[in-house]
Each structure stands twice: as C-alpha cells, then as structure tokens.
Chains A and B, each alone.
Chain A
Amino acid sequence: MTASVDRKVTELDGPPSLGPLYARAAAGAALPGGGGRDLPAREIVRRGVSVEQEHLADYALACGFGIGGALPLTYPHVLAFPLQVVLMADRSFPLPLPGLVHLANRITAHRAVTPDETLDLRVHADRFVAHPKGAQVDLVAEARVGEELVWEGRSTYLARGAEAPADNPPGTDIAEPSTPTGTGAATWKVAGDTGRRYAAASGDVNPIHLHPLTAKAMGFPRAIAHGMWTAARAVAALQGRIPDAATYDVVFRKPLLLPSTVELVTERSGPDWSLAVRSARKPDKVHLTGRVTPA
C-alpha cells in the first residue's frame, strides 16, 4: 500500500503542545500559498513514550473503558495524534489543518499492549488522493515495542475543495462497514461537555469540539463530538468480546452534535462485529459505522 520512500525523520523529545500548533496552523492557513503541492517526505518520531497512568485513566473514563492490564484499542491513537498534528501543521503540508474532516479510521492492534511498555511512535502521511469533495490524505501511525510492531493506525482526512496531484495512485479506502439496523444495544446520553472532556484526555483541542461558540466560529451549529471519541466509546462497549489482536475500522458519517442522545447498535457475525452509532430519535441518522475483525 505504501510506496517505499526515504523520509526525513524529525524526532520529538516530548509530547508536542497542540494548542500553539493549531494556532500556528490557523494563522498559516490564512496566508496565501502555504504548503507544498504534494506530501512532504517526512516522518515524525517519538521514542520511549511511556504511558502516564493519570492520562490513561482520564481517557478510559471519558470513553467508557475499564482500567486494566491492557491499553484500550484506541488509546495509542491519542499518543500518536499529536505527531499527526505536528506533521499537518507544518508549512510543508499541502493541506490546511483547520477544517480537515476525519473521514475514516483503521486501527490494528497486533497484540495487547500493557501500560508499562515503552512505545516508539512514528507518523507519516500517505495516499494523498482526490475525493469527490476535495482531497483526502491518510496519516499513518505505528507503535513499536523495540522492533516489534504492536499497533497501527490509519486516519483518513478530507480537505474540502483541495486538490490532490492527479498522478498519485488512488490506493484503497477503508471499506464501508455494513450498518447494523437492529434494536439499540445501548443508549448514550452524550453530555454537552463530552468534547471538552475528550479534548482534555486526548489533547485534540480542535475548537469545533470544545464549545458551541468556538464550534459556531468554525461553521457548526453546536460543538461536535470527536469522531475518535465516538469510535472509542463504541468499541469500549465490546470490551471482553473482541480479541486482543483486532482491526477496528470506522467510517464517520453525520457529525454528532453535543449534547445528544444516541444509540449503539451491534451485530455479531462469527468472530466479526459490526456496529453503528445512530441518533436515538432518528435512527436513519447514522454518526458512525464500524467493524471489528480479528487481526
């Protein structure tokens, strides 16, 4: 899937602070002619990342995971996400960070990762291709313990109205998971402060998630839930039912405005699970579909 390229490695010695990065990216986006035409051949690396118990506990609480011997399937994403932002906020990145829409996400855990393991994280961008509404790009993350690849993530973002180089190979999108339509397995009353909570736990302080006012400034009627929060909350409901080594695909559909009441629908087929998060009032309004398969 990924062409082998030599990438310039930027090593971070600590977690980047995302607030200033967002601010800089916002300022940069306002400038004309920012960014290159194609993806930068860069890789952001942070080695020796150890899990902070407090941070993990806040995350688990915000997403509905239990605190136990293994990291939640989606947790390494929040460790890798700042690295994504570093890459995307850089002036060399061809797409403006503000306004990027998270379209889909794939996470593969190759085994259970325990909180006491030290992770090396790498993030690069890949598959910069045309999308009917603009251009999309994958931010690819991996986590290794020593040499062993333990976790991978691929986040697909859309930049509305942007253009991708026509000659880039299209690659394969994450296949749309089927949408289960049965009775809801769970009803969630998603509180108004869910975005702030997840922002605090994940570091994703994108203003569209934080407050109705900041969301309005970005063109949303109310704050919206982080897609990865919804994804995490959904897979948290399957804790104990899915294997440690699993691939979790999600496709984000309608934004989940805060607060709201939604339903989780799950459906099992052999070892595979499909799931959907939909509006409790209007079951046709689907916020997310997902699929968990053994890896």
Chain B
Amino acid sequence: MPASTRRAAVIGGNRIPFARANGAYSRASNLDMLTATLDGLVARFGLSGERLGEVVAGAVLKHSRDFNLTREAVLGSRLDPATAAYDVQQACGTGLQAAIAVANKIALGQIESGVAGGVDTASDAPIALHDDLRRVLVRLNAAKSPVDRLKLVGQLRPGQIVPEIPQNSEPRTGLSMGEHAARTALEWGIGRAEQDELTAASHQHLAAAYDRGFFDDLVTPYLKLTKDNNLRADSSVEKLGKLKPVFGKGPDATMTAGNSTPLTDGSALVLLGSDEWAAEHRLPVLAHVVDSETAAVDYVHGPDGLLTAPVYAVPRMLARNGLTLQDFDLYEIHEAFASTVLATQKAWEDAAFAKERLGLDAPLGPIDITKLNVAGSSLAAGHPFAATGGRIVATLAKLLRERATEENKDQRGLISICAAGGQGVVAILEAKA
C-alpha cells in the first residue's frame, strides 16, 4: 500500500473537432470516434504499443452493443492491447468524472498513467424498439415450440413498429434540459442580453484560440472536419438577438438555439500520469489535479434546478482546500446553456441563497469574467455530453501552463460542469510556474 498520495499530472489531451449532430459525423459511431481520438492521443504523445495504467471513458447515449465501449476502443487503437479499460457514465459529468477516477488512482500510486474522457453521438443514437415489440421478440427468441412462437407472432401489431427515439429529457420529470434550464433562468432573472453576450464571447474566444494555434496540439481532425463546426467566428450579440426563444414560455422566454448548446457529436480524452511517468517519457506536465467534488440536487421535488448542482459542489471543495472563489486565475464553467453559467454565478453571489441553501455566512461572491472560459466553451464548440469534460480539462490545463510560463507564477483553475440527473462535477487544476 502506498504511504502517501501525490497529485496526478495532466499531460495533454486530444479531441476530434465537435460536429453538430447529423452532419459531419453522422455515420460515425461512438466507438469510431473514441478510437480515433485515442489514436490521435497515442500519436501526439508517442504511446504506440505502450501499456498504460488504465483508460476510462464513457458515453451518455450508448448502444447496448457498446457495453464495453472503452475497452473496445483500446483494442482498436495503437495502445498495447494489455491496457485495461472501463466505462463510466455520469451524463455531462462523465468526462470529468473519468479524469477524476484516473487521477485518483494515480494519486494513490495504483497506476502511473491513464487516459480519461468520453464520447457522444446524437447522430448515431440508439433507437429502442417499441416496448411491446421488444418484449414479443425477446419471448419469441426464447420460445421453445413452434406453437408458442406462432402465438407470439400473433401478438405483433403494426403500431409496435414505431421506434422509441431517445429524448434529451429527464426520465423523472419528462422535461428537456432546456426546459429545466429555462426554469432556473426565470428563477434567477437571467436576461436575454446577458445570455447572448456570453454566447458571443464563447464563439469569439474559441475562434481566437483556433487562430492563434491554441488547439494545434489539442485537436486532431476527423472525417475531414478540422474545427468545431458549430463555431461562428462572426457571432455577435446583434445576430444572436434575432433568434426566437426555443425554451421557456411567453414573454419571459430568453433561451434560443444560439444561447443553448446544440446536439453535438464528438469525443475528447486527456492523458494523465504521475510526474515520474511523465519525466520518464519526456512528456510535459501541463497542470496537476488538486481536488474535485461532486454534488447532486433534488431537482425533481426539491427547490433546486436540474443544472445547479455545481453551485453546491464548489463551496464544499473550496472549504476543504481553504480557498475562496476569487483565488483562481481561470474559470471553466461548462456552458450547457448561457443561462446556466449566469445563474450559477448569481447563486454564488446571492447572500440569501448562501445562507439558506448553502449554509454559508456569506456568499462566495462574483468571479472576474475576463477569466471565464477564455478559450471558448460549449456554446461555441458544441457539447457531445460525455466528451465535454475531456475538452475542458485539457483546455484549462494548457491555458494554465501558458500563463504559468508567461507570468512565471503558479496558476490555479476551476472547472465546473453541470450534468443531467441534477448532478455537478467540479475540480481544481494547478500549474506550477
């Protein structure tokens, strides 16, 4: 047993450009995308034939045949097939939670290296058979005698052929994420203009990051796509202002297809390792994983919004680390919806909320928005659910490393990712000068 723990290093990342659903990757499966992403990572870090400690990834929309998705991706990749792998799933928190799982094993000395992330396709989503048809077919398969089979065939009805398409909705509430977010937006009085401003900034930041070559060593093109195709470099508040609301009702509706993330296909992974492993392989350490926290809220019958769990997770993590919300050089708050990011900030700034709901004497206070999502986030890049965590971890780690080098000063970054199911995963990364 290891006597002490160490901090896992974020060495780098790889993702494929994110593609709006039913577009560039419409024929690619989760396995295809994850394998390509893994191979891109292997190429970037020269890991061909290498046995890594572990590969952990997942997908939110997953075919039953992909029960061992990550392991299959490893077997199809250039990694040593003796590299172990397993799947995790925590909705939009999948990628970050996978990274935490790997980082924790590295911290404990159980493994020296690992890859974490996720993939999702909304284009090749699993379509289930109508429940009745499915049951008849399962029984038919199990039926022993021809008579039994004939009886079962007699139960088939044309109406059963209508398939059940997975919906981006919460099983317990029947509401889409957008509808949930619209409620939270209304509750916190999030205005249309501020959402559109945040959205335009996301696009502009992402475009600028591409322009300066920031993603040259974070993204590997896939299926002829070289950039996230949701990105609109010329996005502006004015253009976004012309869109009609799609979530929420009546005059209070503020959430549009612009200030909400579209359904997206994509995949992202990060490479983690111990400092020693990185040094042995002459690989750079971008940042270290300091701590993480996962919170959940009762969005079904309780007072909290579906995507507000990070509001709770962050103060718990800050308290444990003796930090304030202002002790960060960069913030990465996943932009599920522009309103989510804004509501999260408002909740942190709200004294009554702090007291009544967070049990704090004082609110966490505001963050400096010039430090927020400085290389763009999900509104611009898109949001393939399980892939977002890997995108953010790699992006933030590289941003911190750049700043630490430029300013010759340690840098600290906060990641906050809200997830379906009323959960939120947050983490702290640090880069040494």
Q: Give the B-binding residues of A (Cβ under 8 A).
A: 61, 183-189, 193, 237-238, 241, 266, 268, 273
* Distance of A223 Cα from B131 Cα, bound (Å): 22
B173 proximity list for chain A (CB < 8 A): 184-187
Contacting residues of chain B (141-181) with chain A, CB-CB under 8 angstroms: 159, 170, 172-175, 179
- Given the interface pairs A185-B173, A237-B172, the reply to whether A61 lies near B131 with Cβ below 8 Å is yes
Interface size of B in residues (CB-CB distance below 8 Å): 12
- Taking the closest CB of chain B, its distance from the CB of A52, in whole angstroms, is 16
Q: Is B301 an interface residue (CB 8 A)?
A: yes
* A186 and B175 contacting across the interface, CB-CB below 8 Å: yes
B170 proximity list for chain A (CB < 8 A): 186
B127 proximity list for chain A (CB < 8 A): none
Across the interface, name the chain B residue whose C-beta is closest to A266.
B301
A268 proximity list for chain B (CB < 8 A): 301-302
What would 24 A/B residue contacts be, using CB atoms closer than 8 Å?
A61-B131, A183-B183, A184-B175, A185-B172, A185-B173, A185-B300, A185-B301, A186-B170, A186-B172, A186-B174, A186-B175, A186-B300, A187-B173, A187-B174, A187-B175, A187-B179, A188-B174, A193-B159, A237-B172, A237-B300, A241-B301, A266-B300, A268-B301, A268-B302
Across the interface, name the chain A residue whose C-beta is closest to B131.
A61
- Taking the closest CB of chain B, its distance from the CB of A223, in whole angstroms, is 16
Across the interface, name the chain B residue whose C-beta is closest to A265.
B301
Interface of B is mostly: loop
Instruction: Kindly list the 8 A-B residue pairs having the minimum CB-CB distance in the complex, ordered from nearest.
Output: A187-B174, A186-B173, A266-B301, A186-B174, A187-B175, A185-B300, A185-B301, A188-B174
* B301 and A238 contacting across the interface, CB-CB below 8 Å: yes
Tell me which of B172, B174, B183 has the highest count of chain A C-beta atoms within 10 A of its own C-beta: B174
B302 proximity list for chain A (CB < 8 A): 268
Across the interface, name the chain A residue whose C-beta is closest to B176.
A187
Across the interface, name the chain B residue whose C-beta is closest to A197.
B132
Q: Could you list 7 further interchain pairs (A-B, Cβ under 8 angstroms) beyond the known A184-B173, A186-B174?
A: A184-B175, A186-B300, A187-B179, A189-B174, A238-B301, A266-B300, A268-B301
Contacting residues of chain B (103-158) with chain A, CB-CB under 8 angstroms: 131
B172 proximity list for chain A (CB < 8 A): 185-186, 237
Across the interface, name the chain A residue whose C-beta is closest to B300.
A185
* Distance of A47 Cα from B179 Cα, bound (Å): 49
- Taking the closest CB of chain A, its distance from the CB of B432, in whole angstroms, is 46
B183 proximity list for chain A (CB < 8 A): 183
* Distance of A241 Cα from B170 Cα, bound (Å): 18
* Distance of A188 Cα from B179 Cα, bound (Å): 13
Across the interface, name the chain B residue whose C-beta is closest to A183.
B183
* Distance of A185 Cα from B170 Cα, bound (Å): 10
- Taking the closest CB of chain B, its distance from the CB of A63, in whole angstroms, is 14
* Distance of A266 Cα from B300 Cα, bound (Å): 9
* Distance of A184 Cα from B179 Cα, bound (Å): 11
* Distance of A187 Cα from B177 Cα, bound (Å): 12
Across the interface, name the chain B residue whose C-beta is closest to A267.
B301
Across the interface, name the chain A residue whose C-beta is closest to B303.
A182
* Distance of A268 Cα from B302 Cα, bound (Å): 8
- Taking the closest CB of chain A, its distance from the CB of B163, in whole angstroms, is 15
* Distance of A237 Cα from B171 Cα, bound (Å): 10
Across the interface, name the chain B residue whose C-beta is closest to A241.
B301
B301 proximity list for chain A (CB < 8 A): 185, 238, 241, 266, 268, 273
B131 proximity list for chain A (CB < 8 A): 61
* Distance of A284 Cα from B301 Cα, bound (Å): 20
- Taking the closest CB of chain A, its distance from the CB of B331, in whole angstroms, is 29
Across the interface, name the chain B residue whose C-beta is closest to A273.
B301
* Distance of A188 Cα from B174 Cα, bound (Å): 6
Tell me which of A193, A237, A273 has the highest count of chain B C-beta atoms within 10 A of its own C-beta: A237
Contacting residues of chain B (271-306) with chain A, CB-CB under 8 angstroms: 300-302
